[in-house]
Structure 1
Amino acid sequence: MTPTIDAQVRLDTHPTHRSAVTAVLSGSQAHIALVGLEAADWTVVADNVLVLARIDHEEPHRAKDAANHLSASGITVEITPRLQEAMDEEWTRANHPMLWSTRSEMREASNRA
C-alpha cells in the first residue's frame, strides 16, 4: 500500500489560455508534488501554482499522466469537471501531417520536437 502524503493537487483548465492546465498545490508536503510536476515540465508561476503549456496542445493528456503519477505516489489529486472533459476528449488526427502514425507515435514525435 502506498503511504499517504499530505499534499493535494487541484488540476483545472487555465482561465484565459484555452489549452493550458493549472495545478494548485496545498498541504504540508506540497513540495513533493511540486518537484514531481516540475520534473514533468510544469512551470511555477506563483507560490504553489504551476502551469503546463505546450505548443502541441497536449496539456490535458499530459495532465492526466501527471495526475496518475501523483496519485500512485500517495498524493490526493482533484480534477475539475471541465478538465476531465478535455482529458476524455480525443483530439482529431484529420489535420495532423503524420496521418499514417498512431496517436502514441504522434505524441512521441511531438515530445521530441
Structure 2
Amino acid sequence: MKGEIYADRFAALGHINRLEIFQTLVKAGSEGMAIGEIASMLDIPASTLSFHLRELVRSKLVTQKKEGRTITCVANFDALNELLTFVKKDCCKGVTLPVFSS
C-alpha cells in the first residue's frame, strides 16, 4: 500500500510546474507562501497554479490553510521525508555514494 502512495507522490512531482511549485514551497519552509506570492514568483497564471496545487494537495505533498481571504500553501515535510527515506532505503548495498558538486 505504501508503494502506491509513493508512486502517486512521485507522479504528482512529475510535471515541471508542480516540481517548481513544490521546490518553492520547500524553500519557503514551515511558514509557506500565499497562492498569490507563488503565482508572482513563478509567473504562473492563477488558473494554472490552482490546477497544479490541487494535484499536490491531493497527493498530500502540500497542505493549505486559510487565513481570512488568503490561502497559504505549505510543503508537507513529513511526506517529503518519507519519499526520501523510501528512495534511500537499501541504497547501494551500504556503499557510500560519492558527493557531486554543482
What range is the shorter-chain TM-score in?
Answer: 0.3 to 0.5
Higher helix share: 2
TM normalised by structure 2 equals: 0.34
